Amino acid sequence: MKTIIIGGGAAGMMAAGVAASNGNKVILIEKNKTLGKKLAITGKGRCNVTNACDDVETLIRNVPQNGTFLYSAFYTFTNAATIRFFEELRVPLKVERGERVFPTSDKSADIVNALRKFCANGNVEFKTAVVSDILTQTGKISGAKLANGEIFNADKVIIATGGLSYPQTGSTGDGYRFARAVGHTIVPPKPSLVPLETTEKWVPELMGLSLKNIAITLTDKAGKTAYTDFGEMIFTHFGVSGPVVLSASAHARGNIDGFKLHIDLKPALTHEQLDLRIQRDFLKYQNKDFKNCLVDLLPQRLIDVIIKLSNIPPELKTHSVTREQRGTLASLLKSLTVTIKGFRPIDEAIITSGGVSTKEIDPSTMQSKLIEGLYFCGEVIDVDAYTGGFNLQIAFSTAYLAGQK
């Protein structure tokens, strides 16, 4: 069987290698000069290949968009299978906080090279070219046409072109166009795992400040909790970013304008415990100005903002701070609140939400229900997950299914 894979990212290379190992003659067509361009920059160049969570149900819970569609894919090629796959290709892996799995070397190039080797072992033919159209005949795949007019005949075409995030790596929505041209429904693409813009004027003052071991709660316009998390975040010139914020963005769908992000700077302490901690610090610095008594409690850059928001005079002697003022300070530290005005642009997103409708794809094979011989895998499908290696697991699991037969 002749198989064409369009897209040489994580999903494309996995699908190509699997198809070749199943006896197919495989051509992988990638418009970039190098394979795995986006994969090489994931996880800040470290590549969070999967998540070592205990079971498939946990994987599904971390896919807020059409997670149940992935049952067959996750059960057929599990996260444990992903770990074995790379270790058998001589890429040692390690598990970090949140069960995130990385190459021991901390080099994404090791993951990219392992996938290239997997393809090369199966004699996959690589071609650098732009595909202009997929070709069908009487409801069945017949091949693909390149931008230069060259035609490749095939019994099977696997679309693994990614979404719209990181367009500089080649993710420019080509797969949506191919799918739409043969009758597929495309759920409108939106940014996911993307930084959030905020309205408060003090936020840009903290640009570059990273906070670790904090908790966040995202609430909607009615004050209802939409998402909670614990971990790291960073302030930017436009708002907030970092792991917990990116995951919050994946959970907040639709119009996020007016949502609020509440940052608990001291999640290990109850309000009462924090008040006792503040009292100890106040006693220690009782003869100093209020502005100088928070050095043990907060990062230096955050102190001026907290003082301003507390409305406690900075020159007030610490021993003169009232109980009510102290309570206001504690409340502020337990819920430093920013107002969300929107998502950053999709080209800044890690993942695209939206894509080819899962209703039109067979979840047990990843074959189109409309066109025989047409398959989809990875980000081009309308599934997306939180941070932590879950999105790459989606790519590998769906690609494994698509490469069968």
CA nearest neighbour of 261 among 204, 220, 289? 220
Residue carrying structure tokens 């610490």: 318
Q: Which two tokens stand for residue 5?
A: 């894979």
Confidence at residue 44, expressed as pLDDT on a 0 to 100 scale: 81
H helices of 22-95, in order, are 56-61, 71-76, 79-88
Mean pLDDT along residues 78-106? 97
Phi-psi region of 242 (alpha: psi -120 to 50; beta: other; left: phi over 0): left
Tokens 């996995």 map to which residue?
14
- Strand segments (E) across 220-276: 225-235, 239-241, 260-264
Q: List the 131-137 sheet strands across, edge first.
A: 131-137, 140-146, 151-153
Q: What does the alpha-carbon distance between residue 360 and residue 369 come to, in Å, rounded to a whole number?
A: 5
166: pLDDT strictly greater than 70? no
Q: pLDDT at residue 119 above 70? A: yes
Separation of alpha carbons 83 and 120, rounded Å: 20
CA distance 234 to 248: 14
Instruction: List, for residues 334-375, the tens digit of each pLDDT value.
Output: 999 999 999 998 888 888 889 999 999 999 999 999 999 999
Q: Which of 178-187, 231-240, 347-356 has the lowest mean pLDDT?
A: 347-356
Note the pTM of the prediction, 2 decimals. Answer: 0.85
Q: How confident is the model at residue 192 (pLDDT cuts 50, 70, 90)?
A: confident
Q: Encode pLDDT of 37-70 as tens digits.
A: 989 988 888 999 999 999 999 999 999 889 999 9
The contacts of residue 34 (CB under 8 Å, 6+ apart) are none
Contacts of 354 (CB under 8 A, 6+ apart): 163, 186, 187, 188, 189, 190, 382
